[in-house]
Structures are given as C-alpha cells and as structure tokens.
Amino acid sequence: MIENYLDDIIHELIVSRVVSSFKVLKREVGEEDGYIRIKCNLSNGDVLEFAEYIHFRKNTINLETYNFHWQSADSTLAKRWDNVKHHKDVSTYPYHLHIPHGKVIESEPMSLKKILLEIEKTLPIKETEK
C-alpha cells in the first residue's frame, strides 16, 4: 500500500504539464510508514522540492507531515506549504503557507496534486510530451 502511494506520486510528476524533470532524492518504505523527497525542475526554470512522510493505519494512508517548497529559478521563494506544528496563530494550524517577505497565511491541507494544479495556474504549460 505504501509502495503504491509513492508510485502514484511519481506518476503525478510524469504526467504533469509543468514538471520538466525530477529526481527522487530519498525514498524509504517500511511496513507502516514511508518517506519521499523529490526535487523537480519546472517548465519555466522554477524548482519545486518536496517531502512527504506517510503512515499506514487501519487500511488507510495518512499524510503525516509534508512540505512543498516552490522557488523561482533565482532561488526566490514563490510559496511553501507545510504542516509543521509552528505558527499556532494561523487559523488553519498546523496547515499554513509561507509567501514572500516572510509572511505566513492560512492554507487548507495540501497534497502534491493540489500543488501541481496551483502551479499550473501560474506557469506556462510545456509543449512537448515526456
């Protein structure tokens, strides 16, 4: 089950219209948990680097912790979504979004699919198929 979840992440990146290439930096699969960290090059030269830690319980995959860090080609923060348990003043705690100039705002719980859709709204779509 965990292996399938991580394979689905890879598939999302392969079929994404904004991901030009990606590299799996770390992938760990245990009996009850898993971890993946990936760095993606986006269609305009931006970078998306993310990590997810998942736990399998009661026949369900639970996304325990995540961070999705999107930055421009010149390393300027575009957005970073995470659920680290800080920023208790944000109404959607622990879910929050870091935006430029050190601001932190509310965010719904995120997933790779939601992040890629958000990026697609902003970036030009690549023309060629993988």
| pLDDT range class, residue 12, cuts 50, 70, 90 | very high
What domain count does the chain have? 1
Whether 31 is in a domain gets the answer: yes
Query: What residues make up the domain containing 71?
Result: 2-122
Q: What are phi and psi of 36, to 5 degrees?
A: -145, 140
Whether 128 is in a domain gets the answer: no
Whether 50 is in a domain gets the answer: yes
Kindly report the average pLDDT of the chain as a whole number. Answer: 93
Q: What are phi and psi of 121, to 5 degrees?
A: -65, -25
Whether 36 is in a domain gets the answer: yes
pLDDT over 60 at 126, yes or no: no
pTM strictly above 0.85: yes
Whether 20 is in a domain gets the answer: yes
